[in-house]
Amino acid sequence: MSQSFPALRGAALLLIAMSAPVVQAADAPELYHQYCSVCHGDRGDGRSRARQGLSTPPRDFTAPGMSEALTRDYMVNVVLNGKSGTAMVGWKTRLSKTQAEGVVDYIRQNFMHGRGGTVKDPHAAHGTQGESAPASAPQAVAQKAPLPGRAAKGAPLYNANCSTCHGLTGEGNGPRAYFIFPKPRNFTADDARARFNPDSLFFAVKHGVQGREMPAWGPVFNDQQIADVSQYVYESFIRPQ
């Protein structure tokens, strides 16, 4: 007996759906080690053999503050679509959204100090994903900078490494600013002065800022140097004496 085309089409779709692999939570470790560990390492700390060949170091998921700095939704989006300016490619042609979510949950549960879930982003004041703080108060952060900064020590570090984007006067008009979008942060703007403090600056410098060209300087500077740069920016541009 012949069957109508819609019926045959429906049967074919049902057969495809039945034969599609079912993603289980147990698949996440295997997917991580298949797609992610080559750069991020077996322990999620970015200490892989491929690290030396990458211009931007892989993300260290074990670093303090990572569970606060990276929301679950943001991480799923990066897994699927990649991240510009880094070696992180998008895996949406290989992984389904469900698989990407499983990998992200595996990372958050096994490598990050926090345990899964979506959390507030302490870098929201930098124009990234997350909840913005009121303009009248400094941006709240997950924790305080681990040590006080010294503005005098931070000045040469800023001028040598940060001014190319943020400018020598902190107005976001450095020589590279023309090629960057969104534009580098203008630290002298009213919203920046209302929201930023040395703590939020410290974590933005150390871990980078989501959705912007601001890289993570944690692999380059030690905590004291990061605190020094943050204090210099705060005293020179955010709250100039």
pLDDT value for 113: 66
Do the domains 124-238 and 22-110 match in fold?
A: yes
- Residue 215, SS3 per DSSP: coil
CATH number 1.10.260.40 is the correct assignment for the domain at 124-238? no
Cα 132 to Cα 139: distance, rounded to the nearest angstrom = 8
Cα 218 to Cα 15: distance, rounded to the nearest angstrom = 50
CATH of 22-110, one of 1.10.760.10, 3.40.50.300, 3.30.530.20, 1.20.120.350: 1.10.760.10
Helices and strands (DSSP H and E) totals, the chain: 11, 0
Q: For every one of its 241 residues, what pLDDT tens digit does the chain have, with 9 covering 90 and above?
A: 444 434 444 344 334 333 334 334 448 888 888 888 888 988 888 887 777 777 778 888 998 888 888 889 989 999 999 887 778 888 988 899 999 999 999 999 999 864 433 333 333 333 333 333 333 333 333 468 889 999 999 999 999 999 999 999 999 999 988 888 788 999 999 888 888 899 989 998 998 877 677 888 988 899 999 999 999 999 999 999 7
Burial 6-31 (b: 16+ CB within 10 A, else e): eeeeeeeeeeeeeeeeebeeebbeeb
Type of residue numbered 154: G
The rounded radius of gyration (Å) of the Cα atoms in the chain is: 22
Longest dimension (CA), the chain: 89
pLDDT value for 160: 93
- Residue 70, SS3 per DSSP: coil
Q: How many CB atoms lie within 10 A of CB 234?
A: 23
The continuous run of DSSP H or E covering 207 comes out as: helix 198-207
Q: DSSP secondary-structure letter at 28? A: H
**Strand intervals (E) in the chain:** none
Any idea where the domains of the chain sit in the sequence?
A: 22-110, 124-238
